[in-house]
């Protein structure tokens, strides 16, 4: 049986940048993200006894050997859960560039977990799917539920999973994903970046800070305090990047255009446009804003040198089956 699933990437408001357990991908701290509706991965999985080996295809692109191996390891997990030894065919498609801090591994492993588990005959709960997706890529566990999502760090495999946070309808939030000019894919992947984070002299403090920021943003979301939400989002962006910049060797993810965007957001805030930025492990910037400010922000940001495109996103749904 062929099963197709769709999942959206997410952008973290409170970041995951450090593992407590490498193999299980347990994070040092809990984190919170927004699911992005405009971006998606669609993955189709088929298990068949006639297949001699696993086939993994990225339509319109190529998987590296390492990426392919990561997918096959995930298929092994799924086979292990179902107690079968059948090979699979996986065809996956993104409507955005993979890697480069645009979170393709999050939507990728979320869609693969859902399609793969269904195709093999498993009926996993949302929590079980989130746990499975986490084993493929940590942030993927936050792409199983929809909306604003919290990943509880947990203390073992079963207790580390993500779920949606209940929010009032009034949380008016848009996310502008600003893609900047860059050569090739990101140089230091998040797995290696996170390993290196431990070499930063600020690591222990940074983890404590993440927990404090988590408390602050949860309260701000509940009380709908926009400026407080924005403050935490920017602080968390710098928390991740300071860890990266102070790792040994240091990692600098930003391009000149990334800084241009940040400065523009500061400048516009002075003029009363209450927007805030964040960035994952790459040069692209995400700006959170209110719907009323979206048009002006888009036109101001598109003008900046080195900005390739601005994609406007709303809050996305959970991972779901298409067939």
Q: Enumerate binding residues for ligand PMV (CB under 6 A).
A: 12, 15-17, 31, 103, 105-106, 137-139, 190-191, 280-281
In which element (H, E) is residue 110 found?
Answer: helix 104-119
Three-state SS at 32: strand
* Of residues 106 and 114, the one with the C-beta less far from ligand PMV: 106
CB of 248 to ligand PMV, least distance (A): 19
Three-state SS at 211: helix
* Of residues 100 and 139, the one with the C-beta less far from ligand PMV: 139
CB of 99 to ligand PMV, least distance (A): 10
CB of 222 to ligand PMV, least distance (A): 21
CB of 33 to ligand PMV, least distance (A): 6
CB of 40 to ligand PMV, least distance (A): 16
* Of residues 207 and 298, the one with the C-beta less far from ligand PMV: 207
CB of 243 to ligand PMV, least distance (A): 10
Give CA torsion, residues 250, 210, 131, 178, to 10 deg.
-60
- The per-residue b/e assignment along 30-55, b for 16 or more CB within 10 angstroms, e otherwise, is bbbbbbbeebbbbbbbbbeeeeeebe
CB of 11 to ligand PMV, least distance (A): 7
Decide: 36 and 173 in contact? Cβ < 8 Å.
no
In which element (H, E) is residue 304 found?
Answer: none
∠ CA 267-268-271, nearest 5°, is 100
Query: Position of tokens 């920021």?
Result: 213
* Of residues 31 and 117, the one with the C-beta less far from ligand PMV: 31
* Of residues 160 and 190, the one with the C-beta less far from ligand PMV: 190
Q: How far apart are CA 222 and CA 219, in angstroms?
A: 5
* Of residues 113 and 137, the one with the C-beta less far from ligand PMV: 137
* Of residues 4 and 19, the one with the C-beta less far from ligand PMV: 19
Residues in the chain, how many? 323
The values of phi and psi at residue 129, to 5°, are -65, -40
Angle between helices 256-270 and 294-302 in degrees, nearest 10: 140
């Amino acid at each position: 049986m062929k099963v197709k699933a769709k999942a959206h990437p997410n952008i973290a408001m409170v970041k995951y940048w450090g593992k407590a357990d490498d193999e299980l991908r347990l994070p040092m701290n809990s984190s919170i993200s927004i699911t992005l509706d405009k971006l998606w991965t669609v993955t189709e999985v088929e298990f068949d006894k006639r297949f001699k080996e696993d086939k993994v295809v990225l339509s319109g692109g190529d998987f590296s050997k390492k990426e392919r191996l990561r997918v096959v390891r995930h298929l092994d997990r799924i086979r292990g859960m179902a107690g079968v030894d059948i090979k699979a065919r996986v065809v996956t498609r993104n409507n955005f560039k993979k890697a480069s801090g645009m979170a393709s591994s999050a939507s990728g492993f979320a869609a693969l977990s859902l399609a793969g588990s269904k195709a093999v005959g498993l009926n996993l709960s949302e929590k079980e799917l989130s746990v499975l997706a986490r084993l493929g890529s940590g942030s993927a566990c936050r792409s199983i539920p929809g909306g604003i999502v919290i990943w509880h760090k947990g203390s073992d495999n079963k207790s580390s999973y993500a779920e949606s946070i209940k929010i009032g309808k009034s949380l008016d939030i848009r996310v502008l994903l600003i893609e900047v000019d860059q050569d090739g894919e990101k140089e230091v992947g998040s797995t290696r970046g996170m390993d290196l984070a431990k070499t930063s002299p600020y690591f222990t403090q940074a983890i404590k800070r993440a927990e404090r920021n988590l408390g602050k943003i949860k309260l701000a979301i509940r009380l709908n305090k926009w400026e407080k939400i924005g403050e935490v989002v920017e602080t968390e962006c710098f928390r991740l990047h300071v860890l990266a910049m102070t790792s040994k060797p240091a990692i600098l993810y930003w391009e000149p255009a990334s800084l241009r965007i940040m400065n523009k957001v500061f400048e516009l805030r002075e003029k009363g446009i209450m927007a805030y930025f964040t960035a994952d492990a790459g040069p692209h910037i995400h700006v959170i804003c209110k719907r009323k400010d979206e048009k002006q922000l888009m036109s101001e940001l598109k003008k900046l040198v080195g900005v390739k495109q601005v994609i406007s996103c709303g809050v996305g749904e959970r991972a779901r089956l298409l067939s």
